[in-house]
Amino acid sequence: MEPHPSEIRRSRNREEARRAILDATEAILLEDGVELFSIRKLATRCGYTAPTIYHYFHDKDGLILALLEERFSRLLQRVRRVQLGPDQVANVREHARAFLRFGQTNPTFYQLMARGPRDGQERKVRAAEDARAIMSGPLETLAAEGRLYTDDLAAAQQAIWALLHGLISLRIGNPTYAWSKNVSDVALDAMLRGIVRPSEEKGSSR
């Protein structure tokens, strides 16, 4: 049985309302940060009343979580589409490239994502945790195989994250600069050569 036109219309209106509220939330967070964010300011920005906002998202934390979950789900989709093979170094590289492409094509969201919580309150976002777990897998396998030059896996993961963040942030901050099309690959390959042993050079971490 097909839905009644009135139900289709209500569903469309609900989605439009959620979309407008989430987009306005993202804009305010980027401009002012979590500390200065308020439902009153959001209502003025998006054109929906506070009761309507609470109807869809319950409270401010629920609203911010919904925004982060939705935006991180886009990154998760890209990470899941990466074709993995038996070469774990290549897998690390392909995940990194997917992350770079996402950050460079979604600069507004990336800036919000990179800011992290500013109110001292960690927010567990399932899509973010899933993406992190998938991207960590190949490097964890390399560590288990004795292929890393360090026994500090967290440091290796954070070094790669710092490199990717730097590459994305530089492009966002200097969009008119004549960046080489190969700069990301050159930087990533240099990083991996400094972290990962060649396959024939397995041994204890230093």
Q: What pLDDT, on the 0 to 100 scale, is given for residue 39?
A: 93
31 lies in the same domain as 77: no
In angstroms, the Cα distances linking 25 to 13, 62, 100, 109, 123 are: 18, 12, 24, 11, 16
- Residue 100 buriedness (CB in 10 A; 0-12 / 13-18 / 19+): buried
**End position of a domain, from candidates 33, 57, 81:** 57
pTM as predicted:
0.75
Flag whether 80 is in a domain: yes
Q: Is residue 63 part of a domain?
A: no
- Looking at the structure, do residues 88 and 185 belong to the same domain, yes or no? yes
Q: Does one domain contain both 86 and 134?
A: yes
In a domain, 64, yes or no: no
Q: What is the pLDDT of residue 116?
A: 58
Domain match, 108 and 140 both: yes
Q: How many domains does the chain have?
A: 2
- For 3, which DSSP code? P
Q: Render each residue's pLDDT in the chain as its tens digit; 206 residues.
A: 666 666 667 778 888 999 999 999 988 888 887 778 899 999 999 999 999 999 999 888 888 888 888 888 988 999 999 999 999 999 999 999 999 998 888 887 787 777 655 555 556 778 888 998 999 999 999 999 999 999 999 999 999 999 999 999 999 889 899 999 999 999 999 999 999 999 876 655 44
Residue type, 118: R
The answer to whether residue 171 sits within a structural domain is yes
| Domain housing 114 | 71-206
pLDDT at 117: 55
pLDDT at 206: 45
32 with 80, same domain: the answer is no
Give the CATH number, domain containing residue 198: 1.10.357.10
Among 32, 57, 82, where does a domain finish? 57
| 119 is a domain residue | yes
Domain-embedded: residue 99: yes
Task: Say which CATH number the domain at 51 has.
Answer: 1.10.10.60
| DSSP string for residues in 62-92 | HHHHHHHHHHHHHHHHHHHT----S-HHHHH
146 and 84 in one domain? yes
